[in-house]
Amino acid sequence: MGLYNCATKNALCEEIMDIETVLSRAVVQVEKEEELRRLLRAGGRDGRPLRVKLGFDPSRPDLTLGHGVVLRKLRQFQDMGHQAVVIVGDWTAQLGDPSGREGARTPLTAAEVRSNAQTYLDQFFTVVDREKSEVRWQSEWFGQFTLADVFQLGYEKTVAQMLKRDDFEKRFARGSEIYISEFLYPLLQGYDSVAVHADVELGGTDQTYNLLVGRELMGARGMTPQCILTMKLIVGLDGAQKMSKSLGNYIMLTADPNDMYGKIMSLPDDAMMAYFEGLTYVPDAELRGFAAGMVDGTANPRDIKMRLAYEIVREFHDLAVAEAAQDAFRRQFQESQWPTEMPAFTLSAAMPIVSLLPAAGLAKSKSEARQLITQGGVYLRPEGSAGPTVRLTDVNAVVPAVAGAELRVGRLKFVRIVTE
Q: Which window, 58-66, 134-142, 359-367, 398-406, contacts RNA (CB under 7 A)?
A: 359-367
* Residue 229, strand partner residues: 30, 202
Compute how many other C-beta atoms are within 10 angstroms of the C-beta atom of residue 352: 14
Of these, 375, 385, 393, 419, which contacts RNA (CB under 7 A)? 375
238 binds RNA (CB under 7 A): yes
CA 94 to chain centre: 23
Q: How far apart are CA 18 and CA 3, in angstroms?
A: 8
Least distance to RNA from the beta carbon of 374, Å? 6
377 binds RNA (CB under 7 A): yes
Q: Residues touching RNA: how many (CB under 7 A)?
A: 50
Q: How far apart are CA 71 and CA 231, in angstroms?
A: 11
Phi-psi region of 361 (alpha: psi -120 to 50; beta: other; left: phi over 0): left
295 binds RNA (CB under 7 A): no
With beta carbons less than 8 A apart as the criterion, state whether 345 and 380 touch. no
176 binds RNA (CB under 7 A): yes
- Cβ burial 105-127 (10 Å sphere, 16+ → b, else e): eeebeeebbeebbeebbebbbeb
Q: Which window, 64-72, 86-94, 158-166, 174-182, contacts RNA (CB under 7 A)?
A: 174-182
Of these, 367, 385, 393, 419, which contacts RNA (CB under 7 A)? 367
Label residue 314 exposed, middle or buried (CB < 10 Å: 0-12, 13-18, 19+): buried
Residue with Cβ nearer RNA (120 or 329)? 329
Of these, 16, 23, 178, 401, which contacts RNA (CB under 7 A)? 178
Residue with Cβ nearer RNA (33 or 238)? 238
Q: Which window, 53-61, 112-120, 206-214, 410-418, contacts RNA (CB under 7 A)?
A: 410-418
Of these, 29, 118, 266, 346, which contacts RNA (CB under 7 A)? 266
Least distance to RNA from the beta carbon of 300, Å? 4
381 binds RNA (CB under 7 A): no
242 binds RNA (CB under 7 A): no
With beta carbons less than 8 A apart as the criterion, state whether 223 and 294 touch. no
- For 391, the 3-state DSSP assignment is strand
Of these, 49, 141, 366, 404, which contacts RNA (CB under 7 A)? 366
Could you tell me how many residues make up the chain? 420
Q: What amino acid is encoded at 207 in this protein? A: Q
261 binds RNA (CB under 7 A): yes
66 binds RNA (CB under 7 A): no
Of these, 107, 143, 154, 268, which contacts RNA (CB under 7 A)? 268
Q: How far apart are CA 201 and CA 12, in angstroms?
A: 26
Distances (CA, A) of 316 to 13, 289, 309: 13, 24, 11
301 binds RNA (CB under 7 A): yes
47 binds RNA (CB under 7 A): no
158 binds RNA (CB under 7 A): no
Of these, 25, 73, 215, 263, which contacts RNA (CB under 7 A)? 263
Of these, 5, 109, 346, 365, which contacts RNA (CB under 7 A)? 365
Nearest to 227 by CA among 204, 196, 189, 193: 193
Distances (CA, A) of 227 to 30, 48, 203: 7, 16, 11
84 binds RNA (CB under 7 A): no
Residues that bind RNA (CB under 7 A): 172, 175-178, 237-239, 248-249, 258-259, 261-263, 265-269, 294, 297, 300-302, 305, 329, 332-334, 354, 358, 364-368, 370-372, 374-377, 396, 409-413
